[in-house]
Amino acid sequence: MWIAKIKKMIKIAYQLGVHYETFIRIILLCKKMINLNVLYSELNNKNKHLKLIYSLIFIVFISLLSCTKKKVEIKKVKEKSTQKEIVKEKKIIKVAKPNAIALNSKNAVNFFKDYGNKNKENKVVFKTRLGNIIIKLYNNTPLHRASFIFLTKNGYFDTTCFHRVVPGFIAQGGDSENLSTSQLRNKYKHYLLPSEFRKNRKHKRGVIAAARDWDDNPEKKSTPFEFYFTVNRRGEHHLNGEHTVFGEVIKGMQIIDKITKLRTGKDEWPYQDVYIDAEVVE
């Protein structure tokens, strides 16, 4: 009677077309465990119905293996989940730095006084597709020097290009449309620097000066992220006392001249970007 029921149940499994030789191997294994002498002899005659019966035996055998495998897999997943939770806890403990300084406009002066004392470099090279520009930073504008070295070492200028060009006037850089540029500005909280006007630091040709906001900025604080080079041979003396001059080009002024001659749109942005690869010169 159970054979009739098995035949009925096995019809679906038989349609799956499991290989016949595989059934033989399973029957040989099952024959050692249960009395299947009659069935086995009939299988050698390739009785169709008995093939179905052994198909079911095969499927049941595989199902048992699958159930065991699933239990093992569930156990492994649980173990992995526990490991992940442990890693997260360790990561949180490791990342937590309550004494870390978050650079902003309120602590920028103290931050860069300390940074400037530890980082004495005063030369930076801008590598561009048009050539290299070497800049010397003035030591008597210490906050602007330290800030420029800091941003160079931390890769900010590498995300920027020359975004404003006015022939015979300036080549302005330090901005771009890259997301990484704004992300780094946000990271440093858009800090500002107090002006460092010096009588011996005028807007002659080839100097680098800091850009700034003209609205709601009576102290004339500089934005450390943008700068401009002057190209007029007579200088731009009307800007003295308005923008902090903190360095000058000592090699590659002809590259600045090339940049100012690039074709631009109405917004004075060159059609072909001139990206900056900045490095501190030891």
Q: What is the pLDDT of residues 219-253, one digit of tens each?
A: 999 999 999 999 999 999 999 999 999 999 999 99
**In the structure encoding, which two tokens stand for residue 159, read together?**
């995300």
Residue 17 corresponds to which amino acid? G
Residues 153 and 271 in one domain: yes
Rounded CA separation 187/102 (Å) = 9
Q: Return the pLDDT at 18.
A: 45
CB 51 within 8 A of CB 43: yes
Q: Return the pLDDT at 55.
A: 52
Residues 148 and 28 in one domain: no
* Average pLDDT of span 58-74: 42
Q: Return the pLDDT at 42.
A: 41
For the chain, the average pLDDT equals 77
pLDDT at 156 over 90: yes
Q: Return the pLDDT at 282.
A: 83
Q: How many domains does the chain have?
A: 2
**pLDDT higher for 125 or 74?**
125
Residues 61 and 145 in one domain: no
Its pTM stands at 0.65
Do the domain assignments include residue 102? Answer: no
**pLDDT higher for 54 or 131?**
131
**pLDDT higher for 74 or 223?**
223
**In the structure encoding, which two tokens stand for residue 80, read together?**
């992995």
69: phi then psi, degrees, rounded to nearest 5: -65, -40
Do the domain assignments include residue 100? Answer: no
Q: What is the pLDDT of residues 83-113, one digit of tens each?
A: 333 333 333 232 333 334 579 889 999 999 9
* Average pLDDT of span 9-20: 47
**Helix-helix angle 20-33:37-44, to 10 degrees:** 160
CB 59 within 8 A of CB 13: yes
Residues 68 and 156 in one domain: no
